[in-house]
Structure 1
Amino acid sequence: MYISLNGKIVHKDEAMISPFDHGFLYGLGLFETFRVYEGHPFLLDDHLARLNRGMEALNIYGCFTRVEVKALLERLLDNNQYQNARIRMNVSAGIGEVGLKTTPYLSPNVMIFSSELQREVTKNEKKAVVLELPRNTPEGKERLKSHHFLNNILAKREIGNHPDIEGVFLTADGYLAEGVSSNLFWLAGGTLFTPAISTGILDGITRQFIIHVAGEIGWRVEEGHYTLQQALNAEEVFVTNSVQEICALTDFAGKRFPGYQGEYVNELHRLYQQYRRTLWSRTEVQEESL
């Protein structure tokens, strides 16, 4: 397998970075995970916008553009002979002396990994359990998709290596937050509910997309601080992320739900498949509304 390392395509066994990289020493790094469908990187603009905001927050120099990254992706996918792939784009702060650094990181290390996926996406279903481990609070003003993943790793250990189970965090105050690797949604009384960013969750790119699409088709959408019982009173429950897309829940904290037998989640799945072939981005929608 080949990866892209600082713009060069190298075999994975030849890829190296310095042990003095502060992404390794202090966890100063960010990543984005997204899918490529028939060569098309879906929601790329939104992933790059979040990555660029995170780099600014971590004092890492640089700003990625669609043209630049799409060219790198095309070369990488061509070398690996992939048309449909899972992409992880990783930015590590770069080399520095041992010790905490306050000046900008001017030479980050940029790595792009790919793994092949099937062309067709199945209608994924899972069960969800409530984690005993609470969601930690963001280390800054907002949660970044950063190298600081210990809370998620400990949560994954709590539920075990079961691909059909998702763990759901509660905040320290007992409100619903997010999944170990997903954002949480439920439908009740014709309204789509999801925990607000103020609970300390990651503002997932697929989360943003689902909120937009639901509004476009006339659904009422509410974000807020909700209890577990409020979600258990729902008609349908699902989680989202960029690789699994929409994953319907058949069981949440011991209560049965319809999964993909549900009307609403099926409609969202249909719309997702329709949109994923387009250049849609929330960034462009926001600019057009100004």
Structure 2
Amino acid sequence: MYVYFNGSVIKKEEVLISPFDHGFLYGLGLFETFRIYDGHPFLLDDHLARLNDGLTQLNIQAQFSRETILDAIQQLLAKNGITHANIRLNVSAGVGEIGLQTDSYTSPNIMLFARPMEPAGDELQEKEAVWLRVKRNTPEGEVRLKSHHYLNNLLAKQEIKHKVNCEGIFLTEGNYIAEGIVSNVFWVKNHTLYTPSVDTGILNGITRQFILQLAQIHQLDIQQGFFEKVSLLEADEVFVTNSIQEIVPISRIDKKSFPGKQGVVATQLHKDYRNYSSFLWSRKELKGELEC
């Protein structure tokens, strides 16, 4: 496999990173994962906007444009001979002295990894879910960044072991619904779409934001807030989202069954998702596109 590393596409075995990189020493780095549909990076502008904002907060001097990253993606896909892929864009702070640094990081390490995927299908793929014993930790700052600090997610993944078709759902310390290990959580009751507020400390997922905008267009009532488990367990349907797996209906949580991939709202949102995944750069284009 070839990777993009600091401006060059090289074999993965050739990538060398100093142990003094503060991404390694202190977890100071950010990443974005997004999906390539027949060569198109879906919602790339939104991913880059979140990444650029986070880099500013971490005092890492790097900002990325669509043109720069698209060029890197095209080089990477061509070298690996793929058109449908899962991309991870990783920015690590770079080398520094041992100790916490307050000065700006001026030479970050930039990497892109591409993993081949099958072309996206029209059929929804459902999963089961469980409530996690591990609680969702609070963000390190005002909002949760998509950072290298992933221990909470790793502990949760170890809790559910190797259950491929299962997602674990975090609760906060106050026992409010938070998010999945690698997903945001939604449920529907009486034409209202519910999802935890970002004030619970969850990651404001790019797919989460896209789904909320689709829901507005379909004139669903939307409730974002602090919800206990009973709210979800009384739902008509439940689904989770992320940028790689898209929309994943939940068929069961513990002993409670749900419609899974037969859910009406999940099915409609997935249809919309498929319609736009091959050309949309940002959710901001969505409203105008639907009105055409």
TM-score by shorter chain over 0.5: yes
- Report Cα offsets for 1:102-135 as digits up to 9, x if no partner: 0000010000000000013352111110001110
- Report Cα offsets for 1:160-211 as digits up to 9, x if no partner: 1111110000000010000000000000010010000000000000000000
Partner residue in 1 for 2:127: 126
Which amino acid in the other structure matches residue 191 of structure 1? T
Is the CA contact (8 Å cut-off) linking 2:35 and 2:87 kept in structure 1?
yes
Q: Counterparts of 1:147-226 in structure 2 under 5 Å?
A: 147-226=148-227
Which amino acid in the other structure matches residue 60 of structure 2? I
Deviation at 1:279, TM superposition (A): 2.2
Asked if residue 271 in structure 1 is aligned to residue 278 in structure 2, the reply is no
Asked if residue 28 in structure 1 is aligned to residue 28 in structure 2, the reply is yes
Deviation at 1:218, TM superposition (A): 1.2
- SS of the residue corresponding to residue 83 of structure 1 reads coil
- Provide the rounded CA distance (Å) in 2 between the counterparts of 1:284 and 1:123: 25
Partner residue in 2 for 1:227: 228
Which amino acid in the other structure matches residue 230 of structure 2? Q
Deviation at 1:280, TM superposition (A): 4.2
Asked if residue 7 in structure 1 is aligned to residue 46 in structure 2, the reply is no
Partner residue in 2 for 1:146: 147
Deviation at 1:285, TM superposition (A): 6.7
Is the CA contact (8 Å cut-off) linking 2:37 and 2:120 kept in structure 1?
no
Which amino acid in the other structure matches residue 120 of structure 2? E
- Report Cα offsets for 1:217-275 as digits up to 9, x if no partner: 11111111001000010000000000000000000132000101111111111111001
Partner residue in 2 for 1:240: 241
CA 1:280 to 1:44, structure 2 compared with 1: closer, same or farther past 3 Å? closer
Partner residue in 1 for 2:47: 47
- Report Cα offsets for 1:24-77 as digits up to 9, x if no partner: 011000000000000000000000000001101111001100010000000000
Is the CA contact (8 Å cut-off) linking 2:185 and 2:239 kept in structure 1?
yes
- SS of the residue corresponding to residue 178 of structure 2 reads strand
Is the CA contact (8 Å cut-off) linking 2:130 and 2:167 kept in structure 1?
yes
- Provide the rounded CA distance (Å) in 1 between the counterparts of 2:246 and 2:102: 38
- Provide the rounded CA distance (Å) in 1 between the counterparts of 2:80 and 2:19: 27
- Provide the rounded CA distance (Å) in 2 between the counterparts of 1:156 and 1:107: 33
Is the CA contact (8 Å cut-off) linking 1:156 and 1:180 kept in structure 2?
yes
- Provide the rounded CA distance (Å) in 2 between the counterparts of 1:142 and 1:283: 22
- Is there any run of 5+ residues in structure 2 with no aligned partner, and where? 288-292
Partner residue in 1 for 2:290: none
Which amino acid in the other structure matches residue 120 of structure 1? A
Is the CA contact (8 Å cut-off) linking 2:127 and 2:249 kept in structure 1?
yes
- SS of the residue corresponding to residue 226 of structure 1 reads coil
Is the CA contact (8 Å cut-off) linking 1:45 and 1:283 kept in structure 2?
no
Is the CA contact (8 Å cut-off) linking 2:46 and 2:281 kept in structure 1?
no
Is the CA contact (8 Å cut-off) linking 1:42 and 1:277 kept in structure 2?
yes
Deviation at 1:282, TM superposition (A): 3.2
Is the CA contact (8 Å cut-off) linking 1:93 and 1:109 kept in structure 2?
yes
- Provide the rounded CA distance (Å) in 2 between the counterparts of 1:114 and 1:221: 35
Deviation at 1:278, TM superposition (A): 2.3
Q: Counterparts of 1:98-137 in structure 2 under 5 Å?
A: 98-121=98-121, 122-137=123-138
Partner residue in 1 for 2:56: 56
- SS of the residue corresponding to residue 207 of structure 1 reads helix
- Provide the rounded CA distance (Å) in 1 between the counterparts of 2:264 and 2:194: 16
138-147 or 119-128, which deviates more: 119-128
- Provide the rounded CA distance (Å) in 2 between the counterparts of 1:279 and 1:260: 24
Instruction: With the length of structure 2 as denominator, give the TM-score of the two structures.
Output: 0.96
Is the CA contact (8 Å cut-off) linking 1:134 and 1:169 kept in structure 2?
yes
Deviation at 1:283, TM superposition (A): 4.9
Partner residue in 2 for 1:77: 77
Deviation at 1:215, TM superposition (A): 0.5
- SS of the residue corresponding to residue 135 of structure 1 reads coil
- Is there any run of 5+ residues in structure 1 with no aligned partner, and where? none
Instruction: With the length of structure 1 as denominator, give the TM-score of the two structures.
Output: 0.97
Partner residue in 1 for 2:256: 255
